[in-house]
Amino acid sequence: MQPQPQPNSLVTYAITAAVILVVMAIRWRRTGRAMLLKLEQLWIMPAVLAAVVILVFATTPPHGLGWLFCLIAAGLGAALGWQRERMMRIDIDPETHRLSQTASPAALVFILIIVVLRQATKAEGAAFLHLDAAALTDMLLALAFGLVTAQRVEMGLRARAMLRAARAIRR
């Protein structure tokens, strides 16, 4: 027999769902709008996440198979980040060579699915993997780092290739 959810946990889930819905609604409004893409700033978010991951792993490092699970999570995150980047549109102004990016609705739905899966895992706990909360947090951090890093690297590579092609046509 499974234990009944406590009223406090239901309130927590409701608040979490409300926050996620508000954030997604704000992001949805921006979907489809072109935003300036600055190649020189693509490294910032992966660097911030790397600092967080290093800090967390330095203070409470994973033990045993936790390291393997973190590596797998980072690889899965990289694959998801690469896929998410493929759903984004990058345009270049032929005259000024200014880059812009447009997130597709599919990319937003993709992130929403990841958030829902994360919440489901959190609600279910890591009992099915026999992991504690710290190991699950480490894996989620590794997943986020892999996702953001792969997305930004792929975005930078694609945008630079577009710039080279546009400059070659202009000559």
What letter represents residue 139's amino acid?
Answer: M
Query: What pLDDT does 102 receive?
Result: 83
- Residue 144's CB is within 10 A of a number of other CB atoms, namely 20
What band does 77 get if pLDDT is binned at 50, 70 and 90? very high
How far is it, in rounded angstroms, from Cα 49 to Cα 47?
A: 5
In the chain, DSSP assigns E strands to 35-36, 89-92, 99-102
Q: What is the mean pLDDT of the chain?
A: 81
Which three-class secondary structure state does DSSP give residue 101? strand
Q: What is the mean pLDDT of residues 121-149?
A: 75
- Rounded to whole angstroms, how far apart are CA atoms 154 and 148? 10
Cβ neighbors of 146 (< 8 A, separation 6 or more) are 73, 74, 75, 76, 77, 78, 79, 80, 81
> Across residues 89-114, what is the average pLDDT?
79
Mean pLDDT of 8-13: 73
| Chain centre distance of CA 18 | 20
**C-alpha distances out from residue 96 to 89, 99, 127, 159, 165, Å:** 18, 9, 55, 14, 14
Q: What angle do CA 163, 169, 171 make, to 5 degrees?
A: 105
Instruction: Say yes or no to pLDDT of 9 above 90.
Output: no
Give me the percent of the chain exceeding a pLDDT of 90. Answer: 27
